[in-house]
A and B are shown apart, each in its own frame.
Chain A
Amino acid sequence: MIIQVPPTVPVVPEQLDPSAVPLAVPEIVWSAVAPALVLMIGGILLLTVVSLVRKPLPSWFHATWTVATATAAICATVPLWQRVQDNGASSEMAGTVGLDGFSLFVTGVICVSVILAALLLEGYLRREDLVGPEWYVLMLLSASGGVVMASANDLIVLFLGLEILSVAVYVLAAMHSRRTSSQEAGLKYFVLGAFSSAFLLYGIALTYGATGSTNLAGIQTFLADNVLVDNGLLLAGLAFMLVGFGFKVAAVPFHMWAPDVYQGAPTPVSAYMAAGVKAAGFAGLLRVFVTTFGPTYREEWMPMVAALAVLSLVVGSVMAIIQTNVKRMLAYSSISHAGFILLGVAAASDAGTSAALFYLLVYTFMVAGSFGVVTLIGRKGDGRHSLEDYRGLSRARPGLALVFTVFLLAQSGIPLTGGFLAKFYVIGAIVDEGLYALAAVAMLTAVISAFLYLRVIVAMYFAGPAGAEEGSEEPAEFAGPPVRIPAAAGLALGLALVGTLALGIVPGPATEVTRDATAELTVGN
């Protein structure tokens, strides 16, 4: 081989091929990425403002800014939603950003999780004597990554969105500098997350080799027009991508990081991880697997996703029962919820996608509320998370105990809460596809996991004091310092409660929106 020396003379355009057409720069439609832009600019402006102002700003300012930015991002989705409903989906930025109902809906879900987590974070930071707007900046930028990921129409953009989302959360998990377990959580999440990103990237590379494109619409068209004689490369790519997404949504057997990280991370960050990060991860999974590979390769990936779903359901609910730390218990329960959402993915139908989206919305409210209560019960030091610490809560804080009961019952799927309908829709979508065995497993594990939620409720309401003999009628004393509820956290709990109940009692509007939130891949203009 002769190594050609690249031309050292600066190449002037005229010296190139004279027939070369001028560079076709794609049209930049700013409005198409408006929600992500709002979040990015909001985060960076917050960082700039707090660095320029000499006096430290009050902590409510950061939280208010964050909530306002996330609200603005939600508002930005409304006209886009109208446009998509009227004119259909489109794809912008040289076909790398998909503008469809699906991406806009997930954007909304991520923004809701940011709002709830930011409200929880405000009181948390004051309680823990932690300062700094960086928490909010990182959360906003992370959410922008999630939005990019949900609207990605190209595997490279999807990967970048995932990294923006994840890297910020690695830092957030480690940001409680005085808690060793927070540092541990951050490092564990970082190492395993980087590992899973490598898997995803490898899968993307193999898929690119097999289809000649990283563009999802391009891949879909290629597979529709061509039949691959040897599809080993594509199948390996699919498998590796599934591993990468499985890590991000904490599906068994790629869940090993989740309990440690959820337990060690600052509790409002756990809330954001369980709600926002999971929603973005599932958005990527649905977009790549259901929308892109759904029409052509469903038979190949469906068994893999179904296996992940069954394992997540079983392992998540069984392991959750034997936990004594409530945060860890919620982590395992979030694995089991991931199993339910994976059922919606495995259905690989429009109904399945809508059910998964509805589940994500409801789950955001439920889990943010649950972790919100856990944040408050943790008290100063964020360390009181064992089941013992919940004994007698119904006496010390009857309102808080009642709210937590609602969130736990909703997670177990009691009717009149959003949790019931979420599970109902997912199982309905699975049954429509004739996958009765999966539906049976789902219902069985729903019963098992109901037991774990009842365990917490029993500890709050009925359990005697620690150390008393069985069956003692002595009322439980709530141990430790009193629980304080900051105004912002109270607002977050109220919002989460309203969301959880409203979606259960008046599900109509949300159901219609999720039905309209279809993912479409369109070739860019």
Chain B
Amino acid sequence: MRVEMFTFLLAGLICLGGALGVVLFRNTVHNALSLVATLFGVAVLFIAQEAYFLAAVQVIVYAGAIVILFLFVIMLLGVDRADQMGVDPIVGQRTAAVVFGVAILGLSLVALLSGPEVVTGTPATTAALSSDIPDVNQIGEALFTDYVFAFEITAVLLTIAVVGAVVLARRSDGPVIDEDEFDGTALDALALEEPSDVGDPDQDTADGADPGSGADETDPDDLEEASR
């Protein structure tokens, strides 16, 4: 019991520390690396729940592949790119964000701690994790029985992601035609270095599934080669 508690607290601290690092570090590379800590902590929590397969997937896919992709995008965009963190587009949005964040945290805590029996304890539709069957077998069985349809339609999602990434990474064939629709202040606030990009650079790093929006600023030839 004590060991479990210790593991949980340690992993939880790693998760929270990493999450804070993602938000608080100024350097984007440090943000991405902090994310590794969070994902690693979650993997430890999975192991504590004897979900070894999930833990392995967590480390290999999330900490391994996805964060590396983040770093790729950050490097392609340029690490030394100045982020415009000083100016808020909406007055007081940081305060509002903190208030709402704390409110959501409070709501979740109240919901989770509102009584001794909030989690019903009825067995999940998947079999209990502590049975003799290895968890890989259990996951495989669940994927090919109860969740076979969900498993199969994920393919459509992946197809869309591929098509979308290729389409958005494609070079724009012509000049921007709607600059006149933005008034001067909006253009200044966005500080368009190249007219083809509107997105905040700090937002781009967060969307792993949408490389195109960040890719507009890199050399399009490289991306076209990469996408083939």
CB-CB under 8 A for A7 and B161, given A1-B48, A179-B176: no
Contact B117 A44 (CB under 8 A): no
Name the one of B52, B173, B213 contacting A183, with C-beta atoms under 8 angstroms: B213
B92 interface residue, CB < 8 Å from A?
Answer: no
Residues of B within 8 A of A97 (CB): 149
A322 at the interface (CB under 8 A from B): no
Listed stretches B23-31, B58-66, B129-137; interface member: B129-137
Residue B224 lies at the interface, judged by CB distance under 8 Å to chain A:
no
Task: Tell me whether B146 and A96 are in contact (CB under 8 A).
Answer: yes
**Which residues of A (119-178) have their CB < 8 Å from a CB of B?**
129, 132, 134, 137-138, 141-142, 144-145, 148, 154, 156-157, 160-161, 163-164, 167-168, 170-171, 174-175, 177-178
| Of B68-76, B79-87, B152-160, the one touching chain A | B152-160
Cα–Cα distance between A209 and B132 once the two chains are bound (Å): 23
Name the one of A1, A179, A212 contacting B178, with C-beta atoms under 8 angstroms.
A179
A382 CB to closest chain B CB (Å) equals 8
| Docked-complex contact B196 and A183, CB < 8 angstroms | yes
Is A177 a contact of B173 with CB atoms below 8 Å? yes
CA of A215 to CA of B126, assembled, Å: 12
**Could you tell me the distance between the alpha carbons of A499 and B210 in the complex, rounded to whole angstroms?**
37
Could you tell me if A171 and B160 are in contact, using CB atoms closer than 8 angstroms?
Answer: yes
- B101 on interface, CB distance cutoff 8 Å: no
Q: Say whether, besides A3-B47, A94-B145, A190-B207, A167 and B160 are in contact (CB < 8 Å).
A: yes
Which residues of chain A have C-beta atoms less than 8 A from B132's C-beta? Answer: 16-17
Q: Is the CB of B3 within 8 A of A1?
A: yes
Residues of chain A within 8 A of B7, CB atoms compared: 1
Query: A235's contact among B111, B182, B199, by CB below 8 Å, is which?
Result: B111
* Complex Cα gap A206–B112 (Å): 9
Instruction: Select from chain A the residue with minimum beta-carbon distance to B207.
Output: A190
Minimal beta-carbon separation of B61 from chain A (angstroms): 17
CB-based contact A138/B164 at 8 Å: yes
List of B residues within 8 angstroms of A180 by Cβ: 176, 178-179, 182, 192, 195-196, 198
Is A160 a contact partner of B181 (Cβ separation < 8 A)? Answer: no
Return chain B residues, CB-CB under 8 Å to A26: 145-146, 148
Question: Given the interface contacts A183-B199, A383-B181, does A211 sit within 8 Å of B120 by beta carbon?
Answer: yes
Q: Would you list which residues of chain A between 409 and 453 have a CB under 8 Å from chain B?
A: none
Does A218 count as interface, using CB distance less than 8 angstroms?
yes
Q: Please give me the residue from chain A that is nearest to B140 by CB atom.
A: A23
Taking CB atoms, residues of chain B closer than 8 Å to A24 are 145
How would residues 137 to 179 of chain B score, 1 for a CB under 8 Å from any chain A CB and 0 otherwise? 1000100111111100110110111011011101011111111
A190 touches B153 (CB 8 A): no
Residues from chain A with Cβ under 8 Å of B182 in the complex: 180-181
Which of chain A's residues have a CB closer than 8 A to the CB of B150? 96, 154, 156-157, 160
Q: Name the CB-closest residue of B to A235.
A: B111
Cα-based distance from A149 to B55 in the complex (angstroms) = 29
CA of A168 to CA of B196, assembled, Å: 21
Q: Is the CB of B207 within 8 A of A233?
A: no
Indicate if the CB atoms of A229 and B163 lie closer than 8 Å.
Answer: no
Closest partner residue, chain B, to A5 (CB atom): B52
CA distance A222 to B118 in the complex (A): 14
**Looking across the interface, which residue of chain A has its beta carbon closest to that of B135?**
A6
- Provided the pairs A148-B153, A178-B176 are in contact, do residues A236 and B111 lie with their beta carbons within 8 angstroms? yes
Nearest residue in A to B142 (C-beta to C-beta)? Answer: A94
Residues of B within 8 A of A212 (CB): 120, 122-125
Closest approach, in angstroms, between the C-beta of A523 and any C-beta of chain B? 12
Residue with the highest number of chain B CB atoms closer than 10 Å, among A16, A160, A237, A239: A160
* Separation of A183 and B137 alpha carbons in the complex (Å): 44
What is the distance, in angstroms, from B26's C-beta to the closest C-beta of chain A?
Answer: 21
**Cβ of B108: which chain A residues have Cβ within 8 Å of it?**
236
Contacts of B176 in A (CB 8 A): 178-180
Which residues of A in the span 187-241 have a Cβ within 8 Å of any Cβ on B? 187, 190-191, 194, 206, 208-215, 218, 222, 226, 228-233, 235-237, 239
Taking a contact as CB atoms under 8 Å apart, the answer to whether B134 and A11 are in contact is yes
Which residues of A, 1-51, contact B by the 8 Å Cβ criterion? 1, 3-4, 6-7, 11, 16-17, 20, 23-26, 28, 33, 40, 44, 47
* Bound complex: CA A88 to CA B48 (Å): 46
Query: Which residues of chain B are within 8 angstroms of A16 by Cβ–Cβ distance?
Result: 132-133, 137
A381 on the B face (CB < 8 A): yes
Q: Is A388 interfacial (CB 8 A cutoff)?
A: no
* A186 in contact (CB, < 8 A): yes
Distance of A94 Cα from B213 Cα, bound (Å)? 39
Q: Can you give 12 contacting A-B residue pairs, CB < 8 Å?
A: A3-B47, A6-B134, A132-B167, A144-B156, A156-B150, A157-B153, A161-B153, A183-B216, A187-B203, A191-B203, A209-B119, A381-B177
Which 9 pairs between the two chains have the least Cβ-Cβ distance? A230-B115, A232-B114, A236-B111, A171-B164, A212-B122, A177-B172, A93-B149, A232-B111, A184-B198
Give the interface of B toward A (CB within 8 A).
3-4, 7, 47-48, 50, 52, 107-108, 110-112, 114-120, 122-125, 132-137, 141, 144-150, 153-154, 156-157, 159-161, 163-164, 166-168, 170, 172-182, 192, 195-199, 203, 206-207, 209-210, 212-213, 216
